[in-house]
Amino acid sequence: MLKSLAPKLVIGALGIGSVTAGTVYAFLPNKYSHYLSSKGRILLTKGSSKFEDLKNKYASEGDGLLITINEKEIPKNELTKEQLETWCLANSNNTFTNTKDKNYQRVSAWCTEPKSIKDYIDNSKTVLNDEEVNAGDHPNKTDWEAKKDEYSKLKTNDLLIKAISSSAETGEDIAATNLDQASKLRAWCKHSKEKHFKHEEDPRFLKYLKWCTK
């Protein structure tokens, strides 16, 4: 009831001549599609070939973000491209509330044109140089040392990273007291920046913001 009255209240307060489409729009329910568009995210449309790519990402990264069809969660290795496309088209215009909404997170992860974490951040943050140097000081040495020191003071586990070995993550998190070299942070950042950006609350994304940008 209140939502339906909102445009009328705006018109009543400002007068018909003062009301623009944007004014009324601000009071209307936001949709996933509207929010994603405002963040530069592009929803896939019917027939897009990129559903195949996202189906494959679902198979490898779907843990915690499985979609439900006919009241059944679809396991990572059982989702078809056709199922994903149908689900996305049915859910992309749900009402957006916040980025913690699990259904929004699924739409963000599996129904938009794939982006890497680095590409999503773009110019909103300064990404630290994660390349190693052969001689002399690292160009971001001060920043990386500050990050290492901050890591060593962590009191919880939610921002711990994994060690990188042969371009892959090991199974163990690096304890706060065990991060003895800033190069370990750089290695993790370099490994993570090309990973699939799923949504704003994704643990890897939040860790990347914390340790790899300023």
Residue 76 has pLDDT above 90, yes or no: yes
pLDDT at 7: 42
pLDDT at 135: 64
Q: CA–CA separation, 120 vs 114, rounded Å? A: 10
39 versus 26: the higher-pLDDT residue is 39
Which pLDDT tens digit goes with each residue over 126-136?
A: 999 999 887 66
1 versus 122: the higher-pLDDT residue is 122
Rounded to 5°, angle at Cα 40 from 38 and 44: 105
pLDDT at 29: 59
pLDDT at 22: 39
Please state, in angstroms and as integers, the Cα–Cα distance from residue 45 to each residue in 2, 51, 61, 113, 137, following that order: 32, 9, 22, 10, 48
| Percent of the chain surpassing pLDDT 90 | 76
Which pLDDT tens digit goes with each residue over 81-123?
A: 999 999 999 999 999 999 999 999 999 999 999 999 999 997 7
Residue 153 has pLDDT above 50, yes or no: yes
- Residue ranges per domain, the chain? 1-28, 31-114, 119-212
pLDDT at 84: 98
Mean pLDDT of the chain: 87
